[in-house]
Chain A
């Protein structure tokens, strides 16, 4: 095979990547610096930081992402550990269920939670029968509700990311520590958690990025009513009420920067360990 043939074989991939990734990226960037009347300006960006409508969307997105990441990470950590120490058969079943659950996000998940925790949800009714009015403290279509739903899809991902780390860390390090007199707590404090830390960091970054960019779940749950960045971008570009594609581009640039930063940190850490 000649050199020319070599290049011919790798070209198609890069052509597609250019057409469907790089060029769009470039245009988003360029358009973010234009007003809707096609004039060069940074007014979009100024508006994002001054208009409470947009600052609130970033506030909400970051808040929900952070809280759901924290809770999700905690539960994933305990779950991954439990799965690892529960025996081979149960562990295998648990991982299969986790894999299945990780597919259950977006529109189906939103609908499922409406069925369970909505105004006429199964659990809502259950509490009502028990004399407890769930709706007074919990509204599925509010920030709290979104956090609860987001936590749900963070957990399987967190478990699948953290579980291999437990595989590496338990086993002979634990045995050695035991023979040296250390109990479980001492082991985790001095050896286990320090060794786990890089994985925890990169997992938390991935979960956070996942939550911030999530569109389908929020959109399906609130029909675009709740003010989140991805939802905002979506409505601005598909012209539900206001068609402002350049503003959407500006918001996208900021969101993409956040995601890029997060993923660079997260994946570099993952690379470091392997």
Chain B
């Protein structure tokens, strides 16, 4: 069909457009020099070599991974009871949560940084500059997405009906939750977890302003590296991108495998 062909062409063009920045970044990462010539003057792996032998890189990656995972886990752990209670026991809680989950969109990024820095630079809770303030901030950042994911997942499970049915069969609420609801929940939440993970790994403003060099995340490290050379930065970007894609693919794959089995 003529319609399909012209659509396909446009789709290919858009994909090329989206891939171009990544593509050239990768090429730049393996070029010796590419300043005035049309093509790179030569190819080399020395930028990657110097990156992979720099322990600061691994520390940065490690910090980003840790703070992301901890924030997601914390978010999940704290949100789950609230959403569950809202569905099964306290309907008013669901209404409150719908409002609360939208606040981070207005108090995003730099604005949150302003508030946090004021509050925690001094006094009893002087956690500014430490990883703890970052975890707290990240918790807020991903809260809407984790909320949406958990809520949709629980909605699809028809939790109240399940709990009622289990009650009639003699199970306690606690048992029902762990044996029935929780396993199904994990599957449904994976998309939100992935999204949150991508967001946190790519987060710059909060880590730059709140902790900066005290807890250098991968993005801050990336930003700093522009002073070394464009090639070095490109090597970092390339590695970062491969890492994100790999973890995303892994989680999606695990999720698919699990669904097929169950």
- The short answer to whether A and B are in direct contact, CB under 8 Å, is yes
Q: Chain A interface (Cβ within 8 Å of chain B)?
A: 1, 6, 9-10, 12-14, 16-17, 19-21, 23-25, 27-28, 31, 75, 78-79, 81-87, 90-91, 93-94, 97-98, 100-101, 103-109, 111-116, 120, 122, 125-126, 129, 152, 155-156, 209, 213-216, 219-220, 230, 233-234, 237-238, 245, 248-249, 252, 255-257, 259-260, 263-264, 267
B192 beta carbon closer than 8 Å to chain A = no
Q: Which residues of B contact A252 (CB under 8 A)?
A: 110-111, 114-115
Contact A9 B14 (CB under 8 A): no
Q: Which residues of B contact A28 (CB under 8 A)?
A: 111, 114-115, 118
B168 beta carbon closer than 8 Å to chain A = no
Contact A233 B111 (CB under 8 A): yes
Q: Which residues of B contact A13 (CB under 8 A)?
A: 78-79, 81-82
- A98, B74: Cα distance in complex, Å: 29
Contact partner of B119 among A23, A100, A104, A213, CB < 8 A?
A23
Residue ID in chain A nearest B18 by CB atoms: A101
Contact B230 A114 (CB under 8 A): yes
Contact partner of B223 among A107, A234, A257, A263, CB < 8 A?
A107
Residue ID in chain A nearest B245 by CB atoms: A100
B108 beta carbon closer than 8 Å to chain A = yes
Contact B219 A1 (CB under 8 A): no
Contact B219 A107 (CB under 8 A): yes
Q: Which residues of A contact B215 (CB under 8 A)?
A: none
Looking at B108, B119, B137, B233, which has the most chain A CB atoms within 10 Å of its CB? B108
Q: Which residues of B contact A21 (CB under 8 A)?
A: 103-104, 107, 112, 140
The distance from the CB of A240 to the nearest CB of chain B, in whole angstroms, is 11
Residue ID in chain B nearest A271 by CB atoms: B98
Q: Which residues of A contact B89 (CB under 8 A)?
A: 6
The distance from the CB of A21 to the nearest CB of chain B, in whole angstroms, is 5
Tell me what chain A mostly uses at the interface: helix, strand, loop, or mixed. Answer: helix
A to B CB contacts below 8 Å, 18 in the list: A10-B85, A12-B78, A21-B104, A21-B112, A24-B118, A25-B103, A27-B115, A79-B11, A82-B14, A94-B11, A94-B14, A107-B204, A112-B24, A156-B18, A213-B109, A216-B219, A230-B109, A249-B118
Q: Which residues of A contact B67 (CB under 8 A)?
A: none
Residue ID in chain A nearest B105 by CB atoms: A263
Contact B36 A155 (CB under 8 A): no
Contact B233 A111 (CB under 8 A): yes
Residue ID in chain B nearest A20 by CB atoms: B136
B262 beta carbon closer than 8 Å to chain A = no
Residue ID in chain B nearest A237 by CB atoms: B114
List residues of B (19-65) whose CB comes within 8 Å of A's CBs.
19-22, 24-25, 28, 34-38
The 10 closest A-B pairs by CB, nearest first: A24-B115, A112-B21, A260-B106, A216-B204, A9-B81, A20-B136, A82-B10, A101-B18, A13-B78, A215-B205
Question: Could you mark each residue 74-97 of chain B with 1 if its beta carbon is under 8 Å from any beta carbon of chain A, else 0?
Answer: 100011011001000110010000
Tell me what chain B mostly uses at the interface: helix, strand, loop, or mixed. Answer: helix
Residue ID in chain A nearest B100 by CB atoms: A17
Contact A86 B117 (CB under 8 A): no
Residue ID in chain A nearest B22 by CB atoms: A104
- A37, B90: Cα distance in complex, Å: 46
Residue ID in chain A nearest B78 by CB atoms: A13
Known: A93-B15, A260-B106. A237 touches B140 (CB 8 A): no
- A23, B14: Cα distance in complex, Å: 44
Contact A103 B118 (CB under 8 A): no
Contact A230 B110 (CB under 8 A): yes
B102 beta carbon closer than 8 Å to chain A = yes
